[in-house]
Amino acid sequence: MLLLQVIVGGLLLGAIYALFSSGLTLIWGMMNFINFAHGEFVMLGMYVSLLVVMYLGGGPAAFGFGAAFALFVLGVVVYLSLIRYVLRGPMLAQILSTFGLALLLRYTAFWIFSANFVSLPQTSLSGTINVGGILMPIPQLVAGVIAILLTIGLHLMLTCTTIGSQLLAVSEDRGAAMLMGIKPDRMQALAWGLSAGAAGIAGALMAIAYPWSPSVGETFGLTAFVVVALGGFGSVPGALFAGLIVGLIQALSAFWFGPIYKDIVVYALFVALLWLRPQGLMGKA
Amino acid sequence: MNKIPALSPTVLLAVALLIYPLIFSGAFYLDVGVTFLLAAISASAWNIVGGYAGQVSVGHAMFFGLGAYAPLLCYKLYGWTPMAGIPFGIAASVALAILIGIPTFRLTGHYFSMATIAVAELIRIYFGTWDLVGAAIGLQGPATARGWWDLTFRSELPYYYIFLTVLAVLLSFTYLMERHRFGYYLRAIKVGERAARSLGVPVQQTKIRALVLSAMFTSVAGSLYSVKTGFIDPESGFGILVSVQMVIIAALGGAGRLYGPLIGALILIPLQTATNTWFGGGGTGLTFIVYGGIIVLIARYEPGGIYDLWEQISPRRWRRKHAS
Amino acid sequence: MSDLVVEHLEVRYGDLIGVADVSMRVDNGQIVALLGSNGAGKTTTLNAIAGLVHASKGRVTWRGEVISGQPSYQVVGKGLALSPEGWRLFVSQTVEQNLRLGATALADRTRIEALFDRVYRLFPRLRERRHQLARTLSGGERQMLALGRALMSEPKMLLLDEPSLGLAPTVVESLYDTLLQLHGDGLTLLLAEQSIPLALGIADYAYVLQTGRVAIEGKATEMESNRQVQEIYLGIGTPTELQR
Amino acid sequence: MKGFRVLKAVAAAATAFTFYAAAQTNAAESVKIGIIWPLTGNAAAAGQASKAAAEVAADIVNNAHPELGDLPLAKTAGLPNMGGAKLELIFVDHQGNPSLAQQLATRLITQDKVHVLMGAYQSSCSFTATAVAERYGIPFMVGESAAGNITGRGFKWVFRGTPIASDYARTYMRFFADMKKQGKKIDSIAIVNENTDYGTSVADAIVEEAKKANVPVALRIPYSASSTDVSAQILQLKEKNPDVVIFISYTADSILYMKSMNNLQYKPPMVIGDDTGFSDPSFIPAVADAAQGAMNRSAWAIGKPGSTTYKINEMYKAKTGRDLDDTSARNMQSFFALADAINRAGSTDPEKIREALTKTDLKPEQLMMGYQGVKFDETGQNILAATYLIQLHDKSYELVWPDNAATAKLQWPMTGGKN
């Protein structure tokens, strides 16, 4: 029973990993671009939620949308003002630009909101439900379920709508997509918007249960890298499964070996898997 | 025509670095100079595999950290001079380079970068739990020197010239490497592995050699750091920022160029120092807003690094490039 | 008046020259063949016309408007569609999605259903497989999809880059039948081919490229008997696309 | 050489700036205190709070505050023994980087010519910064770092005002002994500690003292403070079911623990937080309805309205909008001890200040903290430092132990939350 409880906790957390990693995998797969500032998008999503709650008095739905919208806009702005110019440059320039961006975003938040830890005031989501002896905190449960639904939604959007089809076309063959009349720049801007927006909602969902400060993004960024690499660059379903698996592994190894070993286990498995299957769990071979 | 312009900046640079302590004799400026040299050494070491061979490692802190722990561990366990630990650091780093080089070099592009990050993080977390190396608290060097051999000096001046010597050795080595067949192999691999292989370049072997060389010098940089600082803990040895700083400095100056990392360090270290001096005490985070902003601007407008910019605006090179 | 006029086109890839000097014209309702051995510059010429690569010198005029320098997503909207070399299908998407992507540049969205209908009538196989991923198609089916996709933008002129490459002879035959049929419906065709007899069989006029320049041009009927053309194909000219 | 010019220009600009800063104040009449704290990076919140506390302390010393009772130097404006000289604070930010802390200590001593140093929060940075002070012969007051071996390295110039890890551990054991006498069951304890220098050194000390006091440690769980999920740890605790759980945690994780324990319906008889995270002003609002009766170690208590400590807290609150927390308060107390020594030295001569520090003897009524006094032993450690235990009652902490200082009655077992 205790073990089942651990598994449930791991999966609920893994669902959130899946959501913000799916944003990262989107631009990674589409543009072959590492975004070191992705964790910062999650962090900003958390602060936007706080602002919405404090100044507009919104509930979880309101701040979720608020964070998604604000971060979508930020993602597009970042693409148009910075990323499009470094996209064609060497990989090192990409690392440079997004690392600088991460510092810029983190410390702008620091400047505005100070270094102090904040958490959302108690929302309408609280309490715990008991399902056959397994305790599920409602905030985490709602956050996890929404995260899974949104990740699946993102996947459906990519595979079943015209705009998603155009996005994938650009990621598959930029030149051929241009021959169809698709403007790659517009699609890539959209991808950045979606990527940041997904991170923003993930931030809002985390904010329900987790206190934070401006440096919180660092942790999320590294986790997202592992999830994306495990799931295969560019694969949203891959990110979903990898996210759940990473959450599960972390929870189980924390329970069996102790919490300091949970990241060791994740990284070790990750490195081992890279050797055995370099294209990731669900990546294109 | 070719020889003189290539030589004179080197001479100027060497003279400038040699006389810097005479002009800026204050202990603080000396310390900034030492920090700059250390950054230049680490980034130049990274440059061998990251720049010349084009294998972007974001986990070089694993070698830096091993090099940094070895001297203080020798001091802690046996009371030896920290200097005695330097070869152990190199040996451990070489072993690690071979160990991880063989499997990870099958990976390309971002996968290689990700694998190096993961290995470095793994080691960092592990060292944080390992009592022999002081776990999270870390290791300390001799509080006061027992003799010159402890390399624990009151003044920064000896460190400056020791570090400068190491940098000179490393750059001379890189210069020779550039002109040796090995250097051509590396460049061929950077351009395209498949093409390199078809030209008969032993790709796998060359990459591992490059990593081993790079690891050796990175390890020495780590040893210099811990001997000078007299302290090491998992974060300052294996932290991801240690790796990222090497990448950023090299990229900023010009990766795969002899003086690229040096130029990068020449920009970044004074920039870090200046922003922290001017804005750090205010505690508003302005330090990093300015610092991050400048990095973003350089990446946006000069993606090939400052070295490229210099080549563009240098009329002599311009003429030579377009004469052919 | 000619629909498409190419004047002194030059394309560089860094220090490499893809096309050195190509001038050609295609009249409304014609089928023009662009011949030449592998690496002679056929693909580069077509890509430059379609806006996929930039011309470093010269210009391309389409119905009186200079289109060189415009990106391909604008060119396709003007009624000029390219089916690129190797088809470049979106293999992770379905047949129908590929076709729909082909209609992106279509100004009049109400035409989509009619265009789907036309393509499916032309290639009933595609209708059968419309929910299959493009990567599951056979070579012949892929060619159909590439052609169908290009037709979805309702082009006035179709540029085809080696449409028959790697296909079985019977498949090639039915492809050419289709091309003739389309031409009959009023479509102008510019066809790059390595296979001389095939192209000259349906073309009105032909250009032969060698080392990035037009070596010979003339009416298709005259070309077939031209000895020079044969020589070029026998390898007297060297492929130079990758030469300085 | 172009780059060289750049470096020179930067250096020149930095020099100019330093001169400018120096020219702004009247250098001859003020005592310069260089303060090295993490003002950015992961520990920035603590550094920022401590910076505000030091500024309040400087205000108290520099201006006349007769309302603050026996607090040394409060009544007068400036340092009376030095003709009313003012304290001038120079803050620098080491970003949590030990090597930078070393460089900044050098800068403060050689460029800014500070007379004394203070810092550096993280033990790692205190290690390196104090070594520089020792080398140059400048007194260094360690305000807050807990790792045992910062003092005791044979340094002459390093002093530490705060209690250290072993003091905390002994306090807990005395408390347990007291509780056992009252018939409370403490058969086993569990220690949950974050795994950097702070958590590790305190947890090590507790394990050691527990062995001496014969209190079985059923479980020790080190974890990383950046964890986003702690349910596995809580389930481990639930399995072992210890009588007391001691958390040595930073802010986000301590809040997460309290919330998750409530969610997973785990409530041990007693939870003790080791200061830091439990003392962060963000803690109470976040967990007030989940952690009723949780105890916390603190030497700081706001006290009743009208008391000196209450007034200090009001000054701090006016500046920052938040209550003073224990970490910042301990730094503030160390600052007062330092100011007192400078005043007694009557000079900015480092050697005289050092001597005055060794002769420091502050009585409990002269302090803002619940220490038994401030008196440094030959290693520089304050031997009279002590701590209270406080307990969360409703929306504030109440002092509940030791009995002679208590303002409220200890509740045992804790009531926890609604669930």
Give yes or no for a contact between C91 and C134, defined as CB atoms under 8 angstroms apart.
Answer: yes
User: Does chain D touch chain C (at least 3 C-beta pairs within 8 Å)?
Assistant: no
Q: Using CB atoms, which residue from B28, B235, B283 is nearest to D110?
A: B28
Range of the domain at D96: 26-163+304-385
- Co-location of D206 and D155 in the same domain: no
Alpha helices in chain C (DSSP H): 42-50, 72-75, 95-102, 112-122, 124-128, 139-151, 169-184, 196-202, 220-223, 227-233
- Co-location of D53 and D155 in the same domain: yes
Q: How far apart are CA C17 and CA C44, in angstroms?
A: 10
Hey, what are A285's tokens?
A: 């071979």
Domain count along chain D: 2
> What kind and span of H or E run contains C41?
none
Answer whether residue D2 is part of any domain: no
Q: How far apart are CA D165 and CA D173, in angstroms?
A: 13
Q: Mind telling me how many Å the CA of A96 is from chain C's nearest CA?
A: 25
Q: How far apart are CA A191 and CA A182, in angstroms?
A: 14
Contact A169 C88 (CB under 8 A): no
List of chain B residues with pLDDT < 50: 1-3, 318-324
Q: Using CB atoms, which residue from B266, B267, B283 is nearest to D39?
A: B283
- Co-location of D159 and D170 in the same domain: no
Hey, what are D356's tokens?
A: 């005055």
Contacts (Cβ under 8 Å, ≥6 apart) of B109: A32, A91
Contact A99 B244 (CB under 8 A): yes
Across the A:D interface, residue pairs with CB atoms under 8 Å apart total 112
pLDDT at C75 over 80: yes
Chain segment D214-260, per-residue pLDDT in tens: 999 999 999 988 888 888 899 999 989 999 999 999 999 999 999 88
**CA-to-CA separations, D407 to D275, D303, D304, D395, in angstroms, rounded:** 19, 9, 9, 15
Hey, what are C196's tokens?
A: 């001389």
- Co-location of D159 and D272 in the same domain: no
Answer whether residue D285 is part of any domain: yes
- Co-location of D124 and D188 in the same domain: no
- Co-location of D175 and D98 in the same domain: no
- Co-location of D278 and D393 in the same domain: yes
Answer whether residue D14 is part of any domain: no
- Co-location of D122 and D222 in the same domain: no
Side-chain-side CA neighbours of residue D336 (13 Å): 28
Q: DSSP 3-state assignment of A58?
A: coil
Q: DSSP 3-state assignment of D223?
A: strand
DSSP state string for B13-70? HHHHHHHHHHHS-SHHHHHHHHHHHHHHHHHHHHHIIIIIS----S-THHHHHHHHHH
pLDDT at D119: 85
pLDDT at B315: 56
Answer whether residue D358 is part of any domain: yes
Contact A34 B110 (CB under 8 A): yes
- What pLDDT band is residue C84 in, cutting at 50, 70 and 90? very high
Q: Which fold has domain A2-114+131-276?
A: ABC transporter involved in vitamin B12 uptake, BtuC (1.10.3470)
Q: DSSP 3-state assignment of D419?
A: coil
Taking contacts as CB-CB distances below 8 angstroms, the residues of chain A near D260 are 137
pLDDT at D2: 41
Contacts (Cβ under 8 Å, ≥6 apart) of C32: C24, C26, C189, C190, C191, C203, C204, C205, C206, C207
- Show me where the domains of chain B are located: 9-323
Contacts (Cβ under 8 Å, ≥6 apart) of C207: C22, C24, C32, C33, C34, C35, C214, C216, C217
Q: How far apart are CA C155 and CA D43, in angstroms?
A: 63
Token look-up 């990222």 returns B244
Taking contacts as CB-CB distances below 8 angstroms, the residues of chain D near B263 are 3
CATH label of the domain that carries residue D287: 3.40.50.2300
Alpha carbon distance, N-terminus to C-terminus of chain B: 15
- The single-letter code of the amino acid at C166 is G
Taking contacts as CB-CB distances below 8 angstroms, the residues of chain A near D229 are 9-10, 13, 247, 250-251, 254
- Co-location of D101 and D141 in the same domain: yes
Q: Using CB atoms, which residue from A102, A115, A271 is nearest to B118?
A: A271
Contacts (Cβ under 8 Å, ≥6 apart) of C123: C144, C145, C147, C148, C178
- Co-location of D79 and D175 in the same domain: no
Q: How far apart are CA B93 and CA B86, in angstroms?
A: 11
Chain segment D345-403, per-residue pLDDT in tens: 999 999 999 999 999 999 998 999 989 999 999 999 999 988 889 999 988 899 998 88
Query: What whole-number percentage of chain D has pLDDT above 70?
Result: 93
Please confirm whether the linkage preceding B234 is cis (ω < 30° from 0).
Answer: no
- Co-location of D344 and D379 in the same domain: yes
Average pLDDT score over chain B:
87
- Co-location of D254 and D397 in the same domain: yes
- What pLDDT band is residue C234 in, cutting at 50, 70 and 90? low
Give yes or no for a contact between D148 and D164, defined as CB atoms under 8 angstroms apart.
Answer: yes
Contact B247 A95 (CB under 8 A): yes
Q: Using CB atoms, which residue from A106, A111, A267 is nearest to B284?
A: A111
Residue B83: is it exposed, middle or buried by C-beta count within 10 angstroms (0-12/13-18/19+)? Answer: middle
pLDDT per residue as tens, chain A (285 positions): 788 989 998 999 999 999 989 999 998 888 888 899 999 999 999 999 999 998 888 788 888 999 999 999 999 999 999 999 998 888 888 888 999 999 999 999 999 998 888 888 876 677 888 888 888 888 889 999 999 999 999 999 999 999 999 999 998 899 999 999 999 999 999 999 999 999 999 999 999 888 899 989 888 888 888 898 888 878 899 999 999 999 999 999 999 988 888 888 988 888 888 777 766 655 553
pTM of the model: 0.89
Q: DSSP 3-state assignment of A54?
A: helix
Contact A90 B300 (CB under 8 A): no
Hey, what are D194's tokens?
A: 């974050």
- What pLDDT band is residue C109 in, cutting at 50, 70 and 90? confident
Q: Using CB atoms, which residue from D44, D223, D232 is nearest to A251?
A: D232
Hey, what are A197's tokens?
A: 């927006």
Taking contacts as CB-CB distances below 8 angstroms, the residues of chain B near A106 are 288, 292
B309 and chain A: CB distance < 8 Å anywhere? no
- The single-letter code of the amino acid at A193 is G
pLDDT along chain D (419 residues), means of 10: 46 50 51 95 90 95 91 91 93 94 94 93 92 94 84 90 91 94 93 91 94 94 87 90 95 91 91 92 88 92 88 94 92 95 93 95 91 92 91 91 87 80
Total length of chain D: 419
Hey, what are D177's tokens?
A: 């002994």
Q: Mind telling me how many Å the CA of A27 is from chain B's nearest CA?
A: 13
pLDDT at D25: 42
What is the four-CA torsion angle of A157, A160, A164, A170, rounded to 10 degrees?
140
Across the B:D interface, residue pairs with CB atoms under 8 Å apart total 142
pLDDT at C153 over 80: yes
Answer whether residue D367 is part of any domain: yes
pLDDT at D293: 93
Report the pLDDT averaged over residues C130-149. Answer: 93
